[in-house]
Amino acid sequence: MRAFQSFALVIAVIVTTAGQLAPVHVGAEELPASETAGLATHTEESLEASILAAPELLLFQEIPIVVTASRIEERVTEAPASVTVITRQQILSSGAISIPDLLRMVPGVDVMQSTGANWEVSIRGVIQPMSNKALVLVDGRTVYNDLYASVNWHGLPVVLEDIERIEIIRGPLSSLWGANASLGVINIITRSAAQSQGTSATAAWGTRGTVRANVIHGGELGDRGIRYKLSAAREEVGQWTAYRPDAREGFIGDRKAGAATKANLAVEWDRRDGSNWTLHAGESESGALIFIDYSATQRLWEEDVKYVSLDYSKDDLSVRAYWNGTRIDYSEYELPTATVYTDLYNLEALKSQTLDKHAVVYGASYRRKAVGQANFRLLDDAHRQHLWAAYVEDAYQASERTKLVLSARYDRHPLAGGRVSGRATAMYSPTPRQTLRLSAANAFRSPTFLESYLEISIPLPPPLPPTGVWGNTGLDYEGITAYDLEYRAELSPRTSADLCVFYNELQDFILYDVILDVPRQQQFANLGAARARGAEVEVRRALSPVLSGFANYTYLSVEGVGAIEDRHDSLVKHAPRHKANLGFTLSDPDRGLNGSLLLSYRDKVVVRDQSAGPYVLVNGYVGKKIGDNAEAGISFFNLANRKHQQFTRGDYIGRRIMGSVRWEF
């Protein structure tokens, strides 16, 4: 409680001393003019006088461009949703070894680490093992696995140093992105080949068996407008606490919690007719100890992910086709290994155009999903599903101060049937430096292959029926109805503030239902509901041309209804009621200094007779440039070494110190 009071006091002091507020999105890099052409610029005139009086303030006016909130480029200050951008400078200065560790700094985002290589991420509540209610994208391509309804963060085919920015949408967005964007969207945007010309390499070693090494190289093929980028990485993380006896012996001997090998290729072709073709391909082979349920048992999860994506764009038309292929080897103590294969094929076209005061985006997609298995009968058979969707959004600039945004999408699932999702947003700017936004939306999550087709049947001596767990092909979608009100204010060319309050109603959770007690038989069913309400406040301040800071606080209350309250309360109790962050980022090219400091507080959670937290993390990085092309640094995680659990049955998290060197040629 003392730690929480300290954070609240820090936030109050920053708000009180900030002066008159103005927008700042510190640390964002300027995008090329071609990417910002045609975007609304109503904030520029309001800042012109300040910039003329103090030209150095241009350093603080680099407002990020985002694409996730409306599927077209727009300034983050004008997006019809609660958006947070983690910039490249923040990523490189963080010392983080994983994307979830970066997401800790974002208000409204819950991060729960249960082993050295297993993280769960959710937005505005409902966090659990195998969290499944936030859609995760890489360059707009889903990495959500439809077999088991979650994201393997450790095995994502992404290199941290290759990320340009991460866009986080806090709130439902199924009206544009479809199934699984229930509580929000996390879009990891990598650097283009044009931004990656030359070679960079990173090598890092640390305590707890942590090793990171990667190389990124970009070049051009002649003068034909063809650029390419290659990356390769090896990442290993060690255990926090001793392994459970059911873990595989090979991992025990190496004391690894996880290991991953990654490789990626990108090729871009800018043609003379103004069109662009982009090819992405890659693979990640990983193994990690994870929790897949609320038992105290860790499982070894080995995953091989491959993908190929081809994009075409010209003027206001874009077309994308991609394939995700996954092989999962799942090991459980004293049981044979289950090997499961999944394939996802996706084809999508999107068109945008401006009609008088209307900015319209519309598109359609087709998706084919397939799953098969070998060695162990996990599903009742191999299965294929065909899914169709169409969507449209209209942003109507009703007046200079008022904008209305309406979006709707229709999805068709072969088992759950048709589903319409929508979002309505009204934005009003009483002054050019303030924006008030009110949104209402509904969203959904589709049943996964396991939830629909799972078959674990264990025969018992006659006349007893078998015991086991079964899927249910009659499942309905999980749903959510959400409302949020946001106030964004620009305090000065150096400071911005954001306050958002929200209320969510979640319906038809897909959970185990006990259909027979003796012998125990369970089947997936739509059970219970939950209500979530909360508030998020954040203040960002450019303290000097080289130092920026932020403070944020999140309040969240989640309560279950029906079966959630009676039998599955773990779903809603792992999200802490209070969260707060205080962070600083340093970037001083003249002195060759680079660094960050993040203080992160999470409230205690109590689930039945077990608890986790509270805890305060002290994370950061200090780097010094060596010569013209290299930077050496030291990063730390949980510097105070306050051992704690973030998951009630998870490992006790300790301290990690790393040294690193990054070269650029």
Give per-residue pLDDT as tens, 575-622: 999 999 999 999 999 999 999 999 999 999 998 888 999 999 999 999
- Residue 129 corresponds to which amino acid? P
Query: Any bridge partners for residue 352, and if so which?
Result: 361
Residue 220 has pLDDT above 80, yes or no: yes
Question: What's the mean pLDDT in 271-282?
Answer: 95
Res 374: pLDDT: 66
Handedness of CA 331, 335, 337, 342 (dihedral sign): negative
Residue with tokens 């690193």: 660
Question: What's the mean pLDDT in 284-310?
Answer: 85
User: Is the separation of the CB atoms in 513 and 527 below 8 Å?
Assistant: yes
Comparing 418 with 39, which gets the higher pLDDT? 418
Comparing 297 with 407, which gets the higher pLDDT? 407
Classify residue 103 by burial, with Cβ atoms within 10 Å: 0-12, 13-18, 19+. Answer: buried
Phi-psi region of 147 (alpha: psi -120 to 50; beta: other; left: phi over 0): alpha
Cα–Cα separations (whole angstroms), residue 203 to 233, 378, 469, 502, 615: 10, 40, 45, 42, 30
| Backbone dihedral angles phi then psi of residue 356, each to the nearest 5 degrees | 55, -115
Q: How far apart (Å, rounded) are the C-alpha atoms in residues 223 and 634?
A: 41
Res 294: pLDDT: 59
Res 56: pLDDT: 41
Residue in 183, 185, 187, 182 with CA at minimum distance from that of residue 419: 182
Residue in 571, 553, 551, 552 with CA at minimum distance from that of residue 561: 571
Query: Residue 243: which pLDDT band, with cuts at 50, 70 and 90?
Result: low
Classify residue 74 by burial, with Cβ atoms within 10 Å: 0-12, 13-18, 19+. Answer: buried
Comparing 295 with 556, which gets the higher pLDDT? 556
C-alpha Rg value of the chain to the nearest Å:
24
Question: What's the mean pLDDT in 357-377?
Answer: 88
Res 424: pLDDT: 98
Q: CB-based contacts of 55: which residues, under 8 Å, 6+ apart?
A: none
Other Cβ atoms less than 10 A from the Cβ of 524: the count is 23
Query: Residue 15: which pLDDT band, with cuts at 50, 70 and 90?
Result: very low
Q: What is the DSSP letter of 28?
A: P
Q: pTM of the prediction? A: 0.90
Residue 29 has pLDDT above 80, yes or no: no
Question: What are the E-state strand segments in 291-416?
Answer: 299-314, 317-331, 338-355, 358-374, 383-397, 402-413
Q: CB-based contacts of 9: which residues, under 8 Å, 6+ apart?
A: none
Q: How far apart (Å, rounded) are the C-alpha atoms in residues 183 and 532?
A: 11
Residue with tokens 């694409």: 67
Q: How far apart (Å, rounded) are the C-alpha atoms in residues 177 and 484?
A: 19
User: Is the separation of the CB atoms in 51 and 58 below 8 Å?
Assistant: yes
Q: How far apart (Å, rounded) are the C-alpha atoms in residues 229 and 347?
A: 24
Query: Any bridge partners for residue 246, and if so which?
Result: none
Question: What's the mean pLDDT in 85-110?
Answer: 95
Mean model confidence pLDDT for the chain: 87
Question: What's the mean pLDDT in 432-448?
Answer: 96
Q: How far apart (Å, rounded) are the C-alpha atoms in residues 508 and 564?
A: 10
Residue in 386, 497, 401, 415 with CA at minimum distance from that of residue 20: 497
DSSP 490-519: EEETTEEEEEEEEEEEEEEEEEEEEEETTT
Residue 293 has pLDDT above 60, yes or no: yes
Res 241: pLDDT: 77
Comparing 25 with 386, which gets the higher pLDDT? 386
Handedness of CA 67, 72, 76, 79 (dihedral sign): negative
pLDDT digits (tens, 9 = 90+) for 608-619: 888 999 999 999
Q: How far apart (Å, rounded) are the C-alpha atoms in residues 335 and 325?
A: 25
Query: Any bridge partners for residue 661, and if so which?
Result: 203, 632
Q: How far apart (Å, rounded) are the C-alpha atoms in residues 111 and 393?
A: 31
Q: Which residues of 433-448 are buried (b: 16+ CB within 10 A; e: fewer)?
A: bbbebebebbbbbbbb
Q: Comparing 293-302, 310-319, 524-533, which segment has the lowest mean pLDDT?
A: 293-302
Residue in 157, 153, 107, 109 with CA at minimum distance from that of residue 130: 153
265's tokens: 């290729």
Comparing 53 with 441, which gets the higher pLDDT? 441
Res 59: pLDDT: 41
